[in-house]
Chain A
């Protein structure tokens, strides 16, 4: 079959070429008319004499005139509509009404700098449509990609209100920034947090290299194109309301009071005497329950839209208020967003459009592994709930204070006790001295609020001077005003958690971004040949200006004039407080690009596409000589089902396409700030520029130290990822069954590696270098089934599954591995990126109760030479499944997602001090009478090694039912009476059921980046009970 198909292809191409020159001498008739759809004229529709290159395109009013031989068949077609054919025997004027093509395959898909029919795609592009974004509890649009598209992994390092997830498309292809590029209505951005998911029409994920290559230098991690809604049809007003009650989902078990006492007296870290002196024999605090309560999220979306051939308007206003699960109002996220999208035909040949999003957001959050508040990077409120001893009460009344708290009360100069303001004080442990004391203290010792106001948008002009030619000039912009205000107050908990003064920090920044793009699309239909050309330029600039400052008191200096929140501002700082200021400089980043694309297709069967983009970075990113990067791509597709020989199979196989693509993308996201340069800079320590005093007399002066700030690397260049993709799309059984699969092989070369210590004797910080290659390969499957049973019942199943193999294939000659600075992970040749590097636990010594590890080197003692691969955070398999069913007005949706083959390194246990532990690690511990235990004895030596051994690595596989939603839509006749178009109410259980063996909070929320899969205490996902209402009139 294949050889004959190729013969046919050759024949087709030859005949197409011949046709161009052939002439016919029959009687000629003229067909003229107007092409319209439900809304009005259809512009640029193709009108072609079938089997020839004789054709035209409709003008601004939908008119066309075509002269053809009498008896010819003329086909009228355009993107997104079912083609129509008419036989023309005599000259006539007709009005042709095109029907929208409702088959999913004929959807148009937004591609970079244009749109394409889905059936014409030659790359791997997944779409998420509005229905996957509506009635969800997601607040950040990127969360909608989870479980809905193959090849996209959504990871969270924190589920606190307002947190954005991390998106990985086709694995980890860099060791720096792996975030995809977001393009919102043409505007390139890294942050889509300000767009309400309800305002999104569709999201397209450009996964393969060829599809993304048109975004060249920034597309190495894939591209997510977001198209916001456009006004359609008669005027329509919609209102959506949602209320979600959030509570802790999966809760880990830690030791209770008796278990804790047993364990630590056994360990010798606490004496019974100490227990008797400091425990009331009753208290058994559950810190998790103390710290978490039910949180409430509610949101409102109001939108207006209308559109016709002259223009369209979509406007919305959205309000979101999420008060998270942490007790009190310390974790909140409030967002008011608006959108105004307009288009307007100014002239027949000129269209104006402007899409704008407005955002005001403010929030507060508690510290967890995914956040750093006010530079207290060691603070982790979530971790404190797992580690505090159960013998201490959360709150003590003033008349029952234990001695350690009484002592603090008697020494107010230390900073004082914090309390609930009603005469009760937050409890302070007598057993644990840690920078994370009582979570209530962590909450109240510090106050931080951040706010931002953002105007995002794209304003464009479309010129269509001649048929088939579209010239676009568009300006995209992002104007932000952001500020942050923090204060820390005096308090005393213990030696490591105390402060006797007030510190203030505040910052204001006004970053601005603009991007100006000009591009030309030209499409020409020549018979069955369709040719498309696009060329364009892009220029963008980021400008940042921020000022921040901090003041601090010190010993004997409160830092502010009065210890009162009304004085917690810079203006009222004490005269002797120390002051630090930062910023106040203009910082620019600029980019320039040229790009072009060629499409050719024949009869919808043979599809070929090629593109090239040239990108230039500014000198803050790359040296001048390495500034330009070139990113080519080619792709091809063959729609086998369109072949004449497949006609017989169309009843059961209406569509079958195979496609292949190859492309290169770049990445420099990890770079900025002249890090390649070895220019001379002054001596700077962690806090400030340091200078050397040459005398301490009254007239002492400083000498500044100047030296190269890094080793310098003038050879630094773009990181390049190269990707090959083979794909297949098919529809069976009248389109009810859809299937597509892809195989990809993505290799990132010249990885930009920062923070590499290639040598400890080089003596200076190494500049970033192009060091290493990394490869991701995998298969992706998407399968869908939808059917109607009888008149009232319809259902569908959509599922996707992706596999991923990630491997570092090369590292620079100066280094064989890169050690993480933040986690026990490594980036090493032959292994997955940032795999867990530690000891292989071999069991518990039955006589001593000590953990034992495999000895992998010659040295008889267990040491660094015995560390090896003990797991990885990257899953082998990820997938999602969505089931829908509707019967009359009732609809049901079940959506689940999961991962398989990833591990979690549990870093929740502390190896020092008398911290509480997960019972998993204590219940089956070795004791003199239980020598066949799976866990070490209390207080065993080598617990530090145990914590980074395979014994602390868990299977991270999980399956989570993210949504079970039941809705009811009122019947039409009822709606008509109340003059509404649509009214649906629903209830939903979101993130309610998780199936996992991991003993910590939530297997879905662990570290990202270098800490991939390392759980060090992140804000867990909540389970939500949701009620909602959607109405349209």
Chain B
């Protein structure tokens, strides 16, 4: 019997050892690829750019809402006071370094940079496509650094994937930063590898183009005050003949079916694909659309809108100054409440619109057809436009002030002509500032321009003092929520730069916080 037991025992132990084989512990991961061997083919390389572009597309709301709120063009609205509390804090300059929008925007730009660095390090530029992927990644990386620089001043330069030991990066110096941007963009432009549109109406070039890179380089120069160099490179964009101002109705500029029109320099596409509705969540378009539940709207318009981002009267006044009360572009950019009523769009009886001074964004209105039903109102098919040719013309006009006034006049008037507004010669910086405010309202350029022009403190110092509410009878009343004027409004010397996120400064001992934060 003992023998039998010994057999049983041995059997169990052998079986136990066999089952407990180490190999069973190696389990392959579904849906993933090996980092060391990926990015070898052209197609694989292109997925790197696609990833960066998708990352950037998802930053749409963060980029536009944050910058709009910081400008003097908009009020933070919503259902009532505190409904969009984070935006109110941006709008009224009561935010601090822990503000989540600031943090998200900051780290969002760095995530764009990270994915560019992945492509640059892992794609071997041995074919035409792979070379393009590397160069366009350098362009997007430079663009993100430029955005950071224009908002935060001296952000760290991150030009490779950081090891854990390298997370504590120091600020860049002005010299490092600008020379990095100039070099990267110049080399990418000169590489001959960047995509270009085949003709002015080419709608299929989805990659960042050579002209986009040149426009970014133009901004890099302009921000440094190198106007001549800026003028030169911006002239090249204009001279390429691949871009032109859209000549249809101005109010169609931001429409879904007008994406990739002849004046778009950098757009990331969304499509109306019933099978992929949920990838098109778009809180920017919902946020800037009217407060739909408090209004009776014509069925042309999407029924979900939060009214978080409403035009200030000062924007309307700027339009009036630029082109008169009956200006064509004004009528296609903004509507007054009486104009809305005339179009059949009213505030419901007894309701009021918080943070609304009696004006409604028309350029950014959301059409019903652009909010697919299956998206429950959250999806929007509109493609975010990150740069338009009109901006290039106005940048070029500004750069040419003191360089070539005739070109400055010409570019300025080109924009004015399309707006059906009067033209002039001898344009001044003030003309361009006014024009740019109107032409590009809500497109995320105003705040950085105000900082650069040095007019921010002047324009924004009272922001947050009185907040309007529009009643259904059309009356606007103002409420004072912030009572201590030392605690709201733009403060010169402090708000000229955004604060580095507290999350960064508390962990990164090498980074220096901006003054007064």
Contact with A along B93-122 (1 / 0, CB 8 A): 000111000010011001111110110000
Give every chain A residue within 8 A of B158 (Cβ-Cβ). 761, 763
Contact with B along A552-565 (1 / 0, CB 8 A): 11111100000000
CB <8 Å contact, B167 and A554: no
CB <8 Å contact, B206 and A694: yes
CB <8 Å contact, B372 and A554: yes
CA distance A911 to B82 in the complex (A): 8
CA distance A859 to B80 in the complex (A): 31
CB <8 Å contact, A554 and B375: yes
Q: Which residue of A lies closest to B9 (CB)?
A: A471
CB of B403 closer than 8 Å to a CB of A: no
Interface segment, B51-59, B227-235, B436-444, B446-454? Answer: B51-59
CA distance A814 to B165 in the complex (A): 7
CA distance A587 to B112 in the complex (A): 32
Q: Which residue of A lies closest to B97 (CB)?
A: A864
Answer whether A539 and B110 are a contact pair too, CB < 8 Å, given A495-B294, A590-B25, A687-B278: no
- How many residues on B have C-beta within 8 angstroms of the other chain's C-beta atoms? 109
CA distance A494 to B291 in the complex (A): 13
CB <8 Å contact, B5 and A763: no
Give every chain B residue within 8 A of A57 (Cβ-Cβ). none
Answer whether A695 and B206 are a contact pair too, CB < 8 Å, given A617-B25, A679-B33: yes
CB <8 Å contact, B162 and A769: no
CB <8 Å contact, B22 and A696: no
Interface segment, B63-71, B267-275, B325-333? Answer: B267-275
CA distance A910 to B206 in the complex (A): 46
Chain B residues 471-517 with CB under 8 Å of chain A are 479, 481-483, 487, 501-504, 506-508, 516
CA distance A778 to B9 in the complex (A): 45
Give every chain A residue within 8 A of B6 (Cβ-Cβ). 465
CB <8 Å contact, B373 and A557: yes
Interface segment, A23-31, A86-94, A367-375, A576-584? Answer: A576-584
CB of B236 closer than 8 Å to a CB of A: no
Contact with B along A737-775 (1 / 0, CB 8 A): 000000000000000000001111111100001000000
Give every chain B residue within 8 A of A848 (Cβ-Cβ). 483
Give every chain B residue within 8 A of A944 (Cβ-Cβ). 85
Answer whether A692 and B373 are a contact pair too, CB < 8 Å, given A578-B274, A619-B25, A679-B29: no
CA distance A473 to B9 in the complex (A): 10
Give every chain A residue within 8 A of B268 (Cβ-Cβ). 692
A978 to chain B, nearest CB (A): 51
CB of B183 closer than 8 Å to a CB of A: no
CA distance A941 to B486 in the complex (A): 14
Q: Which residue of A lies closest to B204 (CB)?
A: A695
CB <8 Å contact, A590 and B24: yes
* Set B13, B82, B375: member contacting A518, Cβ < 8 A: B13
CB of B342 closer than 8 Å to a CB of A: no
Answer whether A693 and B482 are a contact pair too, CB < 8 Å, given A618-B27, A703-B50: no
Chain A residues 751-807 with CB under 8 Å of chain B are 757-764, 769
Contact with B along A623-661 (1 / 0, CB 8 A): 010010000000000000000000000000000000000
CB of A734 closer than 8 Å to a CB of B: no
CB <8 Å contact, A580 and B278: yes
CB of B245 closer than 8 Å to a CB of A: no
CA distance A475 to B89 in the complex (A): 61
Chain A residues 168-194 with CB under 8 Å of chain B are none
Give every chain B residue within 8 A of A576 (Cβ-Cβ). 274, 373-374
B360 to chain A, nearest CB (A): 17
CB of B20 closer than 8 Å to a CB of A: yes
* Set B33, B48, B85: member contacting A912, Cβ < 8 A: B85
CB <8 Å contact, B50 and A760: no
Give every chain B residue within 8 A of A290 (Cβ-Cβ). none
Answer whether A763 and B115 are a contact pair too, CB < 8 Å, given A679-B29, A692-B206, A706-B33: yes
Give every chain B residue within 8 A of A759 (Cβ-Cβ). 162, 167-168, 504, 507-508
* Set B17, B46, B55, B269: member contacting A696, Cβ < 8 A: B269
CB <8 Å contact, A688 and B33: no
CB of B200 closer than 8 Å to a CB of A: no
Contact with A along B252-286 (1 / 0, CB 8 A): 00000001100000001111111011110100000
CB <8 Å contact, B276 and A465: no
CB <8 Å contact, B5 and A465: yes
Interface segment, A129-137, A317-325, A815-823? Answer: A815-823
A489 to chain B, nearest CB (A): 14
CA distance A192 to B324 in the complex (A): 75
* Set B47, B81, B107, B259: member contacting A704, Cβ < 8 A: B47
Give every chain A residue within 8 A of B125 (Cβ-Cβ). none
Q: Which residue of A lies closest to B51 (CB)?
A: A705
Chain B residues 282-300 with CB under 8 Å of chain A are 293-294
B122 to chain A, nearest CB (A): 9
CB of A281 closer than 8 Å to a CB of B: no
Answer whether A696 and B373 are a contact pair too, CB < 8 Å, given A680-B34, A814-B167, A864-B97: no
CB <8 Å contact, A705 and B53: yes
CB <8 Å contact, A471 and B85: no
CA distance A267 to B445 in the complex (A): 37
CB of A690 closer than 8 Å to a CB of B: yes
CB of A84 closer than 8 Å to a CB of B: no
CB of A603 closer than 8 Å to a CB of B: no
Give every chain A residue within 8 A of B203 (Cβ-Cβ). 695-697
- Give 22 CB contacts A-B under 8 Å: A349-B5, A465-B9, A494-B293, A495-B294, A501-B376, A516-B16, A537-B20, A539-B16, A576-B274, A589-B27, A624-B26, A680-B32, A682-B31, A707-B51, A707-B52, A707-B118, A759-B167, A760-B110, A761-B158, A763-B110, A848-B483, A913-B80
Further 14 A-B residue pairs, CB within 8 A, beyond A580-B278, A618-B26, A763-B158: A495-B79, A516-B16, A539-B19, A616-B22, A680-B33, A690-B54, A691-B276, A693-B269, A700-B271, A706-B51, A758-B507, A760-B110, A763-B110, A912-B81
Task: Tell me the A residues contacting B by CB distance below 8 Å.
Answer: 268-269, 277, 349, 403, 407, 433, 463, 465-466, 471, 473, 494-496, 498-499, 501, 516, 518, 537, 539, 541, 552-557, 576-578, 580, 585, 587-592, 616-620, 624, 627, 674, 677-683, 685-697, 700, 703-709, 711-712, 757-764, 769, 814-817, 819, 848, 859, 861, 863-864, 911-913, 941, 944
Task: Tell me the B residues contacting A by CB distance below 8 Å.
Answer: 1-2, 5-6, 8-9, 12-13, 16-17, 19-20, 22, 24-35, 38, 44, 46-48, 50-55, 57-58, 79-83, 85, 96-98, 103, 106-107, 110-115, 117-118, 155-156, 158, 162, 164, 167-169, 203-204, 206, 259-260, 268-274, 276-279, 281, 293-294, 303, 348, 350, 368, 371-377, 479, 481-483, 487, 501-504, 506-508, 516
- The 8 A-B pairs at the shortest CB distance, nearest first, are namely A763-B114, A912-B82, A554-B373, A705-B51, A495-B293, A578-B374, A759-B167, A679-B32
